[in-house]
Amino acid sequence: MIAGVVQYSIIWEDPEENFRNIDRLLTSHPPPEGALVLLPEMFATGFSMNQKVPEFYDLCRGFLIATAKQWNIFLGGGIARRKDGTLRNAYLIISPEGKEICEYHKAHPFSISEEGRFYTGGKEVVVAEVKDTKVTPTVCYDLRFPELYRRAVIKGAEVIIVAANWPSKRDFHWQALLKARAIENQAYVIGVNRTGSDPNFHYCGSSSVISPVGDTLLYVGENEGVFYVKLDLDKLLTYRQKFAVLKDIKPWLLP
C-alpha cells in the first residue's frame, strides 16, 4: 500500500481556498492510483468552534468524493458535522469510486480548549477495509489515550491514522506519542498534521509515518506538500507473528 500525507497551512474557515490549495498540491505531487491519501483534521476550515462550520459538511464531503474519483485514490479528511442533534468532529475515508468507506467521530474532544462545549465525542472505534488492509482513523487529542488504539488493534487494525491540528509547542509530544502508539500496537501509524497559524495556535507540521517497530519512515518537518511512503503489510504480519506481543493483551485491563 502507498500512503500519502497532505501537509499545508489551512486557511481559517475558508473551504474554497483550502480546496484550491489541496488541488494545487496534488497536481504538483500526483498520487499513484489506489494510494491512501490523508488530509488533516478539519481540513477545510481549521480547528474552529464556530457553529457555522458544520454547515460546510456537504460541501467538504463533496470535495472529498470528487477528488478521490479524480485521482482514483482512497482519500481521508476531517470535517465538522451535525449528527443526531449534536456536532461531531468527524473523519471520513472515501474510495476511488466516490463511496464512503467509513466515518469516525473524534472520541476525545480537546477539553483544554473547550472543544467539548461544542462537539460531542464519538463512542465507536472504527476499523475499515482499504485495499484488504484494516485501517483505523483517529483525530488529534485521541492520540493521548492509548486504550482507544488498543481496542482498534484487538478489532484487527493494521494501519492507524492520526489526523490533527497539533500545535508547535507540543511537537515533542506529537512525535513521541506517534512512535509509542506504533510500537505498543505493532502497527503502522500515520500522523497527518497542518502547518501555519490560526487565531489560537501555530502548528508544527511534523507529519510522520512510523513503522510497527518504531522506525520513522517519513518525517516532513514544516514543509507543505504531498509526501508518499510504501507500507509493507506482509512485513507487518510477519513481525506480529515472530514477535507475538499482541497475543498477550489482557482485555480485562481495558476500561
Q: Report the C-alpha gap between 39 and 36 in whole angstroms.
A: 10
- Looking at residue 223, what is its pLDDT? 95
- Looking at residue 113, what is its pLDDT? 87
The set of catalytic residues is 41, 106, 140
- Which 3-state string (H, E, C) describes 138-152? EEHHHHHCHHHHHHH
Contact residues for 148 (Cβ-Cβ < 8 A; gap 6+): 107, 108, 125, 138, 142
- Looking at residue 254, what is its pLDDT? 87
C-alpha count within 13 angstroms, C-beta hemisphere, residue 164: 33
- Looking at residue 203, what is its pLDDT? 98
pTM of the predicted structure, to 2 decimals: 0.98
Q: Report the C-alpha gap between 170 and 80 in whole angstroms.
A: 23
- Looking at residue 158, what is its pLDDT? 98
Going from the N-terminus, what domains does the chain have, and what CATH number goes with each?
A: 2-253 (3.60.110.10)
Mean pLDDT, 10 residues at a time, the chain of 255 residues: 98 98 98 98 97 96 98 98 96 98 98 93 97 97 98 98 98 98 98 97 97 98 97 98 97 87
- Looking at residue 176, what is its pLDDT? 98
